[in-house]
Amino acid sequence: MKISKIIIELIAALLIVLWIYTGLNKMMDYSTFKTQLGRSPFIQSLAGFIAIALPVGEIILASLLVFKKTRKLGLYLSFGLMFLFTGYIWLMLNYAYDLPCSCGGVLAKLSWGDHLIFNSGFTILSLIGIILSEIYQTALLRKERILETKVQL
């Protein structure tokens, strides 16, 4: 059970770094990010909304992962967002002719294929975090019930 807790903490820490880095990077270069989103197939009409909502959402998501009471929600939302990002990249690779990159910083240096692998990895990490979190919580509840039963005896 201790190893599960450590792995959950490590996954949460990696996701916190990812969300803060990507969120702040988008905010610091907002105009470029918004312009690149406007050139992206499938989401052009939502570029203005996404350019604001995504970086703010990423920072909020990082905050959820910091606190134990909201960590599981943060893991679920991280999985959902990474799944959407991964799906979008897959669509871009398979159906788009022009592939503008709206990533910034170090991630802008990745190819679209590398992005697919990177995002798939973080999607899987999020899922592992969710599964371990559920197992850990179930084990804690089981221990509590055993202790309650012993106290009642």
Alpha carbon distance 4, 17 (integer Å) = 20
> pLDDT tens digits, residue range 108-126?
788 889 999 999 999 999 9
Output the pLDDT for position 9. 97
The 10s digit of each residue's pLDDT in 70-89 is 999 999 999 999 999 999 99
Separation in Å, CA 13 to CA 25, 96, 115, 122, 125 = 18, 34, 20, 12, 11
Whole-structure pTM value = 0.87
DSSP 58-108: HHHHHHHHHSHHHHHHHHHHHHHHHHHHHHHHHHHHHH-S-------GGGG
Residue 37 near residue 50, CB atoms below 8 Å:
yes
